[in-house]
C-alpha cells in the first residue's frame, strides 16, 4: 500500500506518507540491525573468545575490511544512480543484496574453521560488500520518498523507533539467548559456538523477511531524471564532497557518532564480564541501550519544533555525556560498583542522549542531497548515500579497531577469568572515556551545520519550480 494523495503542482514532490509506508521503510532498518548490528556488536567478542583469533589480528582485519569499503562504496553509489531496475531504482537491492547478506552473516558465526584467519577474512569481507549493496540504496530510498521536511522527520522517528526494536533484539536477545542455551551458561567459550550459529541463523532469516516487507511498502517518487543518469560517475563522490559543505559536516558527524557507538557497544560484553563480574546482567545492560528509543523517539517531531535541530542535538549530546560521567564514577568507586541499579541508571541516561542525537542525524541526509541537487541540478542520492556510508562504516571500523588495539596493548587475555588492572582500565576507557571524547567532537561538528528548516524548504521549492519551468508536464518523480 502506498500513499496516493493527489497534490497540487505547487506541492509536487512534497508527498505525505502513510503510516504503513513509514513502518515499511522502518522495517528496512530493523532488518539491517538484526543482521549487521549483531555482526558489529558481537563479532569481535566471538572472534577472540569463541573462534580463537587474537585481539590484534581481529583489529587489523576490521581495518582491512573498512579500507575495502572505502573503495567499494562509491562504485555502488554510482552504480545505483546510473540504473533504473524494473523492481525499483533503490528498493530492488533490498532483495538482491539481502539474500547473500543473510547467508554470509550466518557463515561469519560458524566455527567450522575454528581459528582460521583466512575464513574470517573471506566471510567478513564479502559480508561487508553485500551490506553496502543494501545500505547505500536504502539510504538513497530515504531521500526518494518525499521532499517534505516534516514528513522526513516523522519518517526518521518511525525508522529509528523500529531500528531500536532491532537494537533491543540484538543487545538483549542475543546475549540472553546464547547464555541461556550455552553449556554452563557460558557464552565465551568455544563450546558455545553452535548456539551462536543458531541465533544468527534466526536473526538472518527474520531480517531478510523484513527487507522483503520494506520492498513491498515503499516506492521511489523523488529521483534523478533517467535522462541524466548516464552522467553519474565514480568521481562524483569526491566532487560532491568538495563542493557540498553541509554534506561534509554530516559526514564528519557520522564518523564521530558511529565510532562513539561502536566503541562502546563492542566493549560492553567485556565490561560486564571482566569489570563488573556480572556477565549475567549484560542483556539488561544492553537492553537499556535501546529502551529509551521507545520513550523519546516518538517525541522527536515535537522536540524539533520546540528546540530546532541544533538545540535538540545539543541537549541530547549533553545528556549522553552526563550519563557517561555517571557510569565512570559508578565504575571506579567500589562501593557504587556493587550497586548494579546505579550502573543501569547511568546506562539509561547515557543511552537516552545517544539514541535521540544519533537517530535524528539520518534526517539530515535527504537535506544534503537536496542541497547538492540545488547546486548542480542532479539528485545523486546513491552517491551521497555511499559517501555517508563510508563515514559511518569508518566509525564502525573504529569500533572494531580501537577496542582490539586497546585490549592488545593492555595485555587482555581471554583465557583468564580475572583480567589485570591495566586491562580493566582499558575496558573502562572503551566504554566511557573514549566515547565521551567523541561525543564532544560530534557536538562541535554539528554546530557548523547550516541548513535550518526554512532554508531547506526554500531550496526544495526552488528545485520543484525549476522542474515545472523546464517541463510543465514532468516532475522529478518515478
Q: What is the dihedral of CA 301, 305, 308, 312, to 10 degrees?
A: -40
pLDDT value, residue 226: 66
Which tens digits make up the pLDDT trace of 114-158? Answer: 889 999 999 999 999 999 999 999 988 988 898 888 898 899 899
Beta carbons within 10 angstroms of residue 119's beta carbon: 18
CA distance 41 to 32: 13
Q: How far is CA 337 from the centre of its chain?
A: 31
CA distances to 222, 259, 327, 368, 380 from 371, rounded to whole Å, are 14, 26, 40, 5, 11
* pLDDT band of 225, cuts 50, 70, 90: low
pLDDT value, residue 343: 94
Lowest model confidence (mean pLDDT) among 120-124, 152-156, 227-231, 310-314? 227-231
pLDDT value, residue 478: 38
249 against 297, higher pLDDT: 249
Place of cell 542475543: 174
User: Running DSSP on this structure, what letter comes out for residue 447?
Assistant: T
Taking a C-beta distance cutoff of 8 angstroms, is the pair 383, 74 a contact?
yes
pLDDT value, residue 7: 38
Lowest model confidence (mean pLDDT) among 168-182, 294-308, 328-342, 458-472? 458-472
CA distances to 2, 160, 327 from 23, rounded to whole Å, are 11, 10, 34
CA distance 177 to 465: 55
Beta carbons within 10 angstroms of residue 452's beta carbon: 14
Lowest model confidence (mean pLDDT) among 6-10, 185-189, 281-285, 470-474? 6-10
Place of cell 542455551: 181
DSSP class per residue in 45-63:
HHIIIII---HHHHHHHHH
Which tens digits make up the pLDDT trace of 445-464? Answer: 999 999 988 898 899 889 88
Which tens digits make up the pLDDT trace of 335-375? Answer: 888 899 999 999 999 999 999 998 888 889 989 989 998 98
Contacts of 401 (CB under 8 A, 6+ apart): 59, 60, 62, 63, 66
Taking a C-beta distance cutoff of 8 angstroms, is the pair 60, 125 a contact?
no
Q: In 193-333, which residue ranges form alpha helices assigned H by DSSP? A: 193-217, 236-243, 245-270, 282-287, 291-296, 300-332
Place of cell 548490528: 37
The residue ranges of every structural domain in the chain are 22-218+232-460
Which tens digits make up the pLDDT trace of 387-406? Answer: 888 887 777 777 767 887 88
3-state secondary structure of 276: coil
- pLDDT of 377 over the 70 cut: yes
436 backbone dihedrals φ, ψ, rounded to 5°: -65, -40
pLDDT value, residue 267: 86
3-state secondary structure of 86: coil
Which tens digits make up the pLDDT trace of 415-452? Answer: 787 888 898 899 999 999 999 999 999 999 999 999 98
Cell of 46: 566471538
- pLDDT of 8 over the 50 cut: no
Taking a C-beta distance cutoff of 8 angstroms, is the pair 475, 12 a contact?
yes
Cell of 458: 526554500
- pLDDT of 20 over the 90 cut: yes
- pLDDT of 2 over the 60 cut: no
Which tens digits make up the pLDDT trace of 31-77? Answer: 999 998 899 889 988 998 999 998 889 888 988 888 888 788 888 88
3-state secondary structure of 83: coil
CATH class for domain 22-218+232-460? Answer: mainly alpha
Cell of 89: 531504482
377 backbone dihedrals φ, ψ, rounded to 5°: 85, 0
Place of cell 520546540: 306
13 against 33, higher pLDDT: 33
Place of cell 553485500: 130
- 399, HSE (Cβ side, Cα atoms, 13 Å): 29
Q: 118-125, long-range: CB within 8 Å, 24+ apart, which pairs?
A: 120/47, 120/51, 120/53, 120/58, 120/61, 121/61, 121/64, 124/39, 124/43, 124/61, 124/65, 125/64, 125/65, 125/68
pLDDT value, residue 211: 97
Amino acid at each position: 500500500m502506498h500513499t496516493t494523495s493527489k497534490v497540487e503542482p505547487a506541492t509536487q514532490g512534497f508527498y505525505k506518507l502513510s503510516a504503513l509506508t513509514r513502518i515499511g521503510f522502518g522495517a528496512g532498518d530493523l532488518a539491517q540491525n538484526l543482521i549487521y548490528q549483531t555482526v558489529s556488536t558481537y563479532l569481535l567478542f566471538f572472534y577472540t573468545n569463541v573462534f580463537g583469533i587474537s585481539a590484534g589480528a581481529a583489529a587489523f582485519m576490521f581495518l582491512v575490511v573498512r579500507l575495502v569499503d572505502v573503495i567499494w562504496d562509491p562504485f555502488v553509489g554510482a552504480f545505483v544512480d546510473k540504473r533504473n531496475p524494473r523492481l525499483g531504482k533503490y528498493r530492488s537491492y533490498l532483495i538482491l543484496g539481502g539474500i547473500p547478506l543473510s547467508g554470509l552473516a550466518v557463515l561469519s558465526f560458524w566455527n567450522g574453521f575454528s581459528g582460521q584467519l583466512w575464513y574470517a577474512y573471506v566471510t567478513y569481507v564479502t559480508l561487508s560488500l553485500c551490506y553496502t549493496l543494501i545500505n547505500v540504496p536504502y539510504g538513497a530510498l530515504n531521500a526518494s520518498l518525499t521532499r517534505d521536511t516534516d514528513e522526513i522527520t516523522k519518517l526518521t522517528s518511525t525508522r529509528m523507533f523500529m531500528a531500536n526494536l532491532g537494537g533491543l533484539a540484538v543487545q538483549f536477545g542475543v546475549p540472553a539467548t546464547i547464555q541461556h542455551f550455552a553449556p554452563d551458561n557460558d557464552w565465551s567459550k568455544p563450546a558455545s559456538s553452535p548456539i551462536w550459529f543458531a541465533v544468527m541463523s534466526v536473526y538472518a532469516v527474520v531480517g531478510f523477511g523484513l527487507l522483503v516487507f520494506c520492498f513491498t511498502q515503499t516506492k521511489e517518487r523523488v529521483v534523478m531524471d533517467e535522462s541524466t543518469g548516464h552522467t553519474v560517475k565514480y568521481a562524483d563522490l569526491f566532487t560532491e564532497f568538495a563542493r557540498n559543505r553541509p554534506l561534509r559536516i554530516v559526514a564528519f558527524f557520522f564518523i564521530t557518532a558511529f565510532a562513539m557507538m561502536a566503541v562502546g557497544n563492542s566493549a560492553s560484553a567485556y565490561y560486564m564480564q571482566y569489570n563488573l563480574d556480572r556477565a549475567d546482567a549484560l542483556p539488561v545492560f544492553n537492553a537499556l541501550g535501546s529502551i529509551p528509543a521507545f520513550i523519546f523517539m516518538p517525541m522527536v517531531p515535537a522536540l524539533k519544533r520546540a528546540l530546532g535541530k541544533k538545540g535538540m542535538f545539543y541537549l541530547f549530546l549533553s545528556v549522553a555525556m552526563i550519563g557517561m560521567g555517571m557510569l565512570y564514577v559508578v565504575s571506579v568507586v567500589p562501593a557504587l560498583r556493587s550497586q548494579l541499579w546505579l550502573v543501569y541508571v547511568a546506562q539509561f541516561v547515557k543511552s537516552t542522549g545517544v539514541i535521540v542525537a544519533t537517530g535524528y542525524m539520518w534526517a539530515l541526509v535527504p537535506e544534503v542531497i537536496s542541497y547538492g541537487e540545488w547546486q548542480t541540478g542532479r539528485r545523486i542520492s546513491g552517491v551521497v548515500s555511499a559517501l555517508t556510508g563510508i563515514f559511518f562504516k569508518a566509525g564502525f571500523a573504529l569500533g572494531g579497531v580501537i577496542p582490539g588495539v586497546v585490549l592488545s596493548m593492555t595485555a587482555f587475555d581471554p583465557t583468564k577469568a580475572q583480567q589485570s588492572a591495566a586491562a580493566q582500565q582499558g575496558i573502562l576507557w572503551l566504554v566511557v572515556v573514549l566515547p565521551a571524547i567523541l561525543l564532544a567532537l560530534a557536538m562541535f561538528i554539528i554546530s557548523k551545520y547550516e541548513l535550518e528548516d526554512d532554508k531547506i524548504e526554500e531550496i526544495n521549492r526552488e528545485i520543484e519550480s525549476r522542474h515545472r519551468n523546464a517541463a510543465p508536464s514532468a516532475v522529478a518523480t518515478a
